[in-house]
A and B are shown apart, each in its own frame.
Chain A
Amino acid sequence: MTVWQTVLLGSVAVLALKVVGYLVPPSLMERPTPARVANLTTVALLAALVVTQTVERGGDLVLDARVPAVVLSGILFAFRVPFVVVIVVAALVAAGLRLLGWMN
């Protein structure tokens, strides 16, 4: 599968999911079980993506400068620091630790 195919098929799939919501009878998706599954799936995927983005490198678990950066960002989110500020701080922490040669 080429990168272009992935980009185009993925885009069409995500766009189609938006369209579907305007076509289905509201009663279908407003029932508790489908709505709950959709909401929890978002939670599960985001949690798994946090983990893979934080500790995965080349198909292995690697603990590096990303870990303290993400822990700090969790603390900042808990204190309701604005999203963009947290993202920048996370990047600066990881970049700074790597610049110092720690946790590469």
Chain B
Amino acid sequence: MRRRSSSPRSRCVETSSPSDTSAAVRASISVALAVSAYGISFGALAVASGLDVWQTCVLSLLMFSGGSQFALIGVLASGGAAAGPAAIAGAALLGLRNTLYSVRMAPIVGGPGWRRMLAAPFTIDESTAVATAQPTLRGQRLGFWASGIGIYVGWNLTTLLGALLGDLVGDVRQYGLDAAAAAAFLGLLWPRLRTLQPVAVAIASAAVAAVLIPTSPPGIPVLAAATVSIAVGITNVLGSRADSGARAKTS
């Protein structure tokens, strides 16, 4: 799922509300509504990619991470069931950032170990963004749970709706849903392109993928692009020390 752009976050930071908790709840509701709307396109695209309604719903219930879900169905759409390993690898690599979010959320969630395990499924782009935008620990904790659970409920309902609709309408290309999925990936990418290093990685990865599409099996272009980021990440070309530290904290 995507990292929210600045609007709901800045709204809740700038608000002059006397209560931190009401700001956290308001941010959570607006984020949950926006993200849930986008679950319809996931459901419809998933059935168009060859999944049945049950498989589509299991992805939203268990995987619950929009970027990974779109990546998995995207690879299956072009490679069929045989591309399963590449689809899993793509989804897992995209899910890697959730590990960073969990590290950041652990002190905010607090409490005993079972509470952290309960928090794990809800640890995604949006719940991390909403939580860390709140000024107090109470607001952060509430923002995490309210947005995480709110998005979980909404995303799963709209996934089911989209899957049922997708089953009805047939070829989703006719409705431009393939272009909508591409635009969704671009929207997830956009807020991350703030400094030179990620911009360079994005351009190089896009080029690697484009070159490999006609010559390699489905899923491989996307995985090959990941090697660009690993090389750049380890050597830290085009990145400053200060920049890398800031990124580790903010995204």
Contacts and interface: CB of A to CB of B under 8 A. Distances in A.
Given A3-B55, A35-B100, A49 B185 contact: yes
Contacts of B109: 22
Given A24-B103, A36-B236, A53-B74, A86 B187 contact: yes
Interface residues of B, number: 108
A29 B213 CA distance: 33
B128 to A, nearest CB: 10
Contacts, number: 335
B154 interface: no
Contacts of A94: 173, 176, 178-180
Interface in B103-125: 103, 105-107, 109, 116-117, 119-121, 123
Interface in B159-218: 173-190, 192-193, 197-198, 201-206, 208-210, 213-214, 217-218
A84 B37 contact: yes
For chain A, the bracket of interface size reads 35 or more
B90 interface: yes
Given A69-B182, A95-B175, A35 B248 contact: yes
A22 B221 CA distance: 31
Contact of B176 (A54, A61, A91): A91
Chain A interface SS verdict (over half): helix
Nearest to A32: B244
B59 A11 contact: yes
Contacts of A102: none
B87 to A, nearest CB: 5
Contact of A49 (B34, B62, B74, B203): B74
Interface of A: 1-15, 17-22, 24, 26, 29-30, 32-33, 35-61, 65-66, 69-70, 73-74, 77-78, 80, 82-84, 86-96, 98
14 contacts: A7-B51, A13-B92, A14-B65, A14-B98, A21-B103, A22-B102, A39-B192, A42-B97, A46-B185, A53-B181, A58-B78, A59-B213, A69-B180, A82-B7
